[in-house]
Amino acid sequence: MSNPEIISELSAISKSVAAIPRVNVFSVPTDYFNTLSNSILHTIHTELLFKPVTINLNVGEVPEGYFEGLASQIMNKIRDGKESLAEETKNISMTVSKIGNRNVFTAPEGYFESLSEVINLRIPQPARVISMKKRTSFFKYAAAAVITGLIGLSVFTVLDKKESGHSNKESLAVMEKASEIIKNKTFDLELRNVSDKEIEQFLTESGQDVNAALVASVIDESNLPATDEYLIDDRTLDEYLIKLNLNN
Amino acid sequence: MAENPDDKELLFQFRNEATKERAFTSIIKKYQEKLYWHIRRMVVEHEDANDVLQNMFIKVWKNLENFREDSQLYTWLYRIATNESLTFIEQQKKRSSVSLSDDENSFSNKLQADKDFDGNKLEWKLQLAIQQLPEKQKAVFNLRYFEEMPYEEMSRVLETSEGALKASYHHAVKKIEEFILNR
C-alpha cells in the first residue's frame, strides 16, 4: 500500500488490520495473461458468427446484402471458427469445463533433466562388429597359436621352426590330436573351451610373443608384429588351415 | 497506433472498423491484470475469475461503441467487472442447495482449498476474513485496500455515494479486525 492517505485512514480504523502485510496470496497459471486477449477475441468471433444480426425483420424482407455476405460468414466460421477444446468441453458440460486442465501432479526435482541419460544407459548397445577381412592373414597365426594351445600340451607345435629339443613322441601326440579335431570338425568347440588367458599363458611359457595371440582384435595391420615373429611358417600353416577350412 | 496509446486514442481506434480489433486487444492487455485480480478477490477461484473476466470483456466489446465517456474508461471497466462478479456470486448462491449461512462460507471453503493456502499466515487470514463480508462490502474493501481507489472514483464504479462508501469501508475493516483477532 503506497497511498499515505489510505494507510493513515486504515490505521485510524484498525491498527491490527493496518499491520497485516499486503501480499497477493493468489497464483495464476503460467502465461495466462499472454494468451487472454486471443482467447477473448476467439470467443467474440464465434459468438458474433452464431448470433443473427439484430434487425427488424418484417415478413418478406431481409436486410440489404444479407445473402451476399452469408456464404462468406459461414465459410469464415468453418475456416477460422473451429472450436477450441475449451469451447467444445464447455458446450458439452459447463461443470466439466470449469474443472480445467491444470496439472495436479508433480515430478521429482531434476527428473526430466536426467531422464534421457537414464534411458540411454538402459538401451542395450549392439554388439561391436569387427571386420574379419583385414585380419585374415594374421588371424591364421592366432588360430595356429590357439590350435597348438588347444591340445593342452606344454610343448609347441611340430611346425614351429624355432623350437628344438622336444621329443617326436610328444609331437606325434600333438599331431594326432590335431588330426582328430580336423576330422571331427570340433575346432569351434575346442576353441570355446580355451580362454584368452590360457592362450596368453601358453604363448608366454613357450617364449612366444603374447601379442601375436591377440591379433584377432587388431584391425590395423601396420601395428602388427613382423611375420617372422610368429610361430609357424606360412606354407605349413596354410596347409593346416586349409584342412580346418579357416583359410579364407 | 502508439506504443502505449491513451484511452481516448483507443476508443477512437475502436470505433474505426479497420482498427477495431487491434484497439480492443490493446484495451484487454492494458487492463487485464488489474481487472483480473479485482474479480479474483471476489470469486476466489481462477477458473471462475477467468469466466467472469472473459464475459466482462465480451460485454465491453458489445457496448464500448456506445460508451459516453462521461467517466474514465477504466472506471467503466471496473463497473462492468464488479457487476459481473456480483452477478456470478448471486448465481452461485442460487445454484447452491445449502442454507444461507453455509453459503456464506462457500467462498471460504474455496479459499481454504487453494493449494497455496496457509491458515497460519496473516495474509491468508485476511482473505478468509474478507470472504465473510457481504458481497458489496467486499467489493468496497477490495477496491479501497488493494486497488487504492479514491472514494470519488469508487462512487462511479459502484454507483453509491461517497459517504455510504466510507461508512461501508469502516465497517468492513472493523469486521475483519474482529475476525482476525478472534480466530
- Taking 50 as the threshold, does the pLDDT of residue B81 lie above it? yes
3-state SS, residue A232: strand
The minimum CA-CA distance between B145 and chain A, rounded to whole Å, is: 8
pTM, two decimals, is 0.53
User: What are A89's three cell numbers?
Assistant: 468441453
Q: For residue A217, name the pLDDT band (cuts at 50, 70, 90).
A: very low
Closest to B61 (Cα-Cα) out of B24, B23, B29: B24
CA distance B149 to B162: 12
DSSP codes, A168-191: HHHHHHHHHHHHHHHHHT-HHHHH
What ipTM is given for this predicted complex? 0.85
Beta-bridged to residue A160, according to DSSP, are A232
Q: For residue A95, name the pLDDT band (cuts at 50, 70, 90).
A: low
The residues of A whose Cβ lies within 8 A of any Cβ of B are 1-3, 6, 10, 13-14, 16-17, 20-29, 32-33, 36-37, 39-41, 43-44, 47, 98-100
User: Mind listing the domains of chain B with CATH numbers?
Assistant: 1-95 (1.10.1740.10), 99-183 (1.20.140.160)
Q: For residue A38, name the pLDDT band (cuts at 50, 70, 90).
A: very high
- Taking 70 as the threshold, does the pLDDT of residue A84 lie above it? no
In the chain, the amino acid numbered B91 is Q
Closest to A180 (Cα-Cα) out of A233, A237, A239, A243: A243
For residue B40, which residues of chain A lie inside 8 Å, CB to CB?
A: 26, 28
C-alpha atoms less than 13 angstroms from C-alpha of A108 in its C-beta half-sphere: 4
- Taking 50 as the threshold, does the pLDDT of residue B39 lie above it? yes
In the chain, the amino acid numbered A23 is V
Residue that has been written with the C-alpha cell 458481497 in this structure: B135
Q: What local confidence, expressed as pLDDT, does residue A177 receive?
A: 77
CA distance B5 to B13: 10
Q: What local confidence, expressed as pLDDT, does residue B145 receive?
A: 94
Lowest mean pLDDT among A42-51, A132-141, A234-243, B45-54: A132-141
3-state SS, residue A84: coil
Q: What local confidence, expressed as pLDDT, does residue A5 receive?
A: 92
Q: For residue B129, name the pLDDT band (cuts at 50, 70, 90).
A: very high
Q: What local confidence, expressed as pLDDT, does residue A104 receive?
A: 53
For residue A95, which residues of chain B lie inside 8 Å, CB to CB?
A: none
